[in-house]
Amino acid sequence: MSTQPDACPQCTMTEIHRQGAYHVCDTCGYEWPFERAEEGAGDEVVRDANGVALASGDTVTVIKDLKVKGASTVLKVGTKLKNIRVGSGDHAVEAGGVMLRAEFLRKV
């Protein structure tokens, strides 16, 4: 298993080596960081009811009463949820162990 790419993105020669967090091309000296594949991997932006992008650590309020899956409790409209975690999928927002749909939340 290797993350080393096959060729230099600059001159396409294949003689490359690693130096710290970079690949270095032996032919032209071009340096580029590891993990280029991560660019674009986090493309999915989770947006709240107003289309505002949410990020982990944000505080949101609930904009409608929400039944909590697997629990008998209801999150009341106006409930403030601090330090959310943003993931992906249908219920992309996690707050206090509860998974919620981002469109029922509003960033504070």
| Residues near Zn ion, by CB under 5 A | 8, 10-11, 25, 27-28, 30
| Residue of 105, 87, 83 lying closest to 44 (CA atoms) | 87
Q: Which is nearer to Zn ion, 30 or 34 (CB)?
A: 30
> How far apart are the C-alpha atoms of 30 and 32, rounded to whole Å?
7
For residue 1, the minimal CB distance to Zn ion (Å) is 24
| Closer by beta carbon to Zn ion, 23 or else 81 | 23
User: What is the rounded CA–CA span in Å between residue 100 and residue 62?
Assistant: 10
Quick one: 27 or 61, whose CB is closer to Zn ion? 27
Q: In whole angstroms, how close is the CB of 10 to Zn ion at the nearest point? A: 4
* 3 state DSSP class of 38: helix
Distance of closest approach, residue 13 Cβ to Zn ion, in angstroms: 5
β partners of residue 22: 19, 33
